[in-house]
A = this chain, B = another copy of it.
């Protein structure tokens, strides 16, 4: 009916749904058995254990956002949707739009990624932390390019914002979404992404471009 990999991914998907709804630690293996339609013991044929399940889930989700973001940024650099060349600002916009869209279209996995960041232990925790660091670094590099392109126009004015702090704050805007956003509500994904883009770009660049 289904091969090994499909069955395994179905299990991961069911786990993502339950983890997102009830939280990792509150969820028992028996809950997952019920949600996936497998027996309690049967799951252990596909996964090494509960923590391994969370690890596979986070790893897979992280690699997909990362790949998607890289492609979206590259596409924006090549000219993106509408013609043009695609400067640093367009590339950052593409990153934000992709992140927010991915968040909204993969709610469960992204909530697990955001909320259960410290639920892993030992080597698995360290490995996922590295993935996250690489992903944040990708965004940080885009903001750095934005900085370089603006190159202190007059020298005067107020002090520049700390880039790393600004980037973490940007991720705060984006990753907090799972806390309040209702995809069935009146606010669309595009509007949400546009709000975050404006808040960050106007706010961050204001100290660089204007005044």
The residues of A with any CB-CB pair to B shorter than 8 Å are 23, 25-26, 115, 117-119, 161-162, 165-166, 168-169, 171-177, 179-181, 187, 191-192, 195-196, 198-204, 206-207
Contacts and interface: CB of A to CB of B under 8 A. Distances in A.
Main secondary structure of the interface of A (DSSP, over half): helix
Contacts of A177: 172
B161 A168 contact: no
A165 B169 CA distance: 16
Which 8 A-B residue pairings sit nearest by Cβ, starting from the closest? A172-B176, A203-B203, A199-B203, A25-B25, A202-B206, A202-B203, A172-B173, A169-B173
A149 to B, nearest CB: 18
Q: Which of A25, A169, A171, A175 is the most central at the interface, judged by chain B CB atoms within 10 Å of its CB?
A: A169
A169 B195 contact: yes
Contacts of A204: 199
B206 A161 contact: no
Nearest to A115: B115
Contacts of A198: 161, 203, 206-207
Contacts of A192: 165
A117 to B, nearest CB: 7
B118 A23 contact: yes
